[in-house]
A = this chain, B = another copy of it.
Amino acid sequence: MVTIRDVARQAGVSPSTVSRALTVPDKVEQGTRERILALADQLGYRPNRAARGLITGRTGNLGLLVPDLANPFFPGLVKGIQARALESDYQLFVVDTGENAAIEPELVRQLAKQVDGLLLCSPRMRPAELREAIDLVPTVLVNRALPKASSVTFRNVDGAIALVAHLAGLGHRSLGFLAGPASSWSGAQRRRGLRAACLQQGLELHELGSVAPTFDGGQSAADEVLSAPVTAVIAYNDLVAIGLGQALAERSVDVPGRLSIVGFDDIPMAGMIRPSLTTVANPVAEAGREAVDLLLSQLNDPSIGVRQVRVPTSLQVRGSTGPAVARTEDGMSS
């Protein structure tokens, strides 16, 4: 292992000068600096970040907590975060909590010591716990908000409104909301939006579920959905929507003829299946980058304070044969 002293000796300068050449180049004479840098490169010198961190108090690491990487909603988010972090020369600790809210606080505590900042994606823990976590280390919440905490969230309410407007336009008068986990913050947001929109547009909204936010969760709701007096179902997310669609197909229920299904998230699979799924698209990669930017700017200038970024969503209308297709009086189809 080549240390700063090796470089210093060979360059005929003191370790401090090497250190300066690397971290504050302007404080070193050009000639010296160039010599040092060239030598460091040639020797394959890499600063020991742990040692550096010991004295600067900065680790150069960020932590990322995510409920479930196998949930297609998250990889895009993680990729955005990861890419931006790397650009800024931060390494990323990733922890998959396995949707286990109970262990989140402990995992945060473990991570906190080794990172400069934390990104909590869709954390499931309770507000009080979340607050504690945030006080431990600079944190940005993603897909969840909390008073006086920095966050990047999606405009779920707007998305819900757009969805209802779309369904209303297709002639639907009675909608179902197939809810996900009660602890889901975004789920609550979506419900709020749906309620408001239905009220305003004079539509009925029936609450169904709740189910697990998975394909299986959606499948398991088939009977409940079928027995509800609705012509369209808004699922908690795309995975649930797809699971439900699948279960209905197995029962030979005509989708969207008898029942329309729409979702949230616009996971890649939504465009791969047939019929493809109308859904509210969350720009996850963008949100991820945004979150890192926010976190880093807070690290560089702690006086910035709390900031809550809300990323716009967009309605993704798919497939003229897709689930969201018309059930108007005259049988027209979008």
Contacts and interface: CB of A to CB of B under 8 A. Distances in A.
A96 B109 contact: no
B49 A114 contact: yes
Contacts of A322: none
B215 A48 contact: no
Interface in A198-218: 215
A292 to B, nearest CB: 14
Contacts of A268: 70, 215
B49 A113 contact: yes
Nearest to A272: B215
Contacts of A269: 269, 272
Interface string A36-77: 000000000010111101100001010000001110100110
Interface string A94-138: 111010000000010111011000000000000000000000000
Interface string A167-191: 0000000000000000000000000
Stoichiometry, copies per complex: 2
A64 to B, nearest CB: 8
B92 A95 contact: yes
A98 B83 contact: yes
Contacts of A59: 50
Contacts of A273: 272-273
Contacts of A98: 79, 83
Nearest to A219: B272
A235 interface: no
Contacts of A272: 215, 242-243, 246, 269, 273
B95 A86 contact: yes
Given A70-B268, A79-B69, A215-B268, A93 B96 contact: no
Interface range on chain A (Cβ under 8 Å from partner): 35 or more
Nearest to A250: B274
A91 B114 contact: yes
Nearest to A47: B113
A249 B273 CA distance: 11
A7 interface: no
- Give the most central of A53, A242, A272: most B CB within 10 Å: A272
A82 interface: yes
* CB-CB nearest 3 A-B residue pairs: A50-B50, A94-B94, A69-B75
Given A50-B54, A70-B268, 7 more contacts: A46-B110, A50-B59, A69-B69, A72-B72, A78-B94, A91-B114, A273-B273
19 contacts: A46-B113, A49-B113, A49-B114, A50-B50, A61-B93, A69-B79, A69-B82, A70-B79, A82-B94, A83-B96, A86-B107, A91-B95, A92-B95, A93-B93, A94-B94, A215-B268, A243-B272, A249-B274, A269-B272
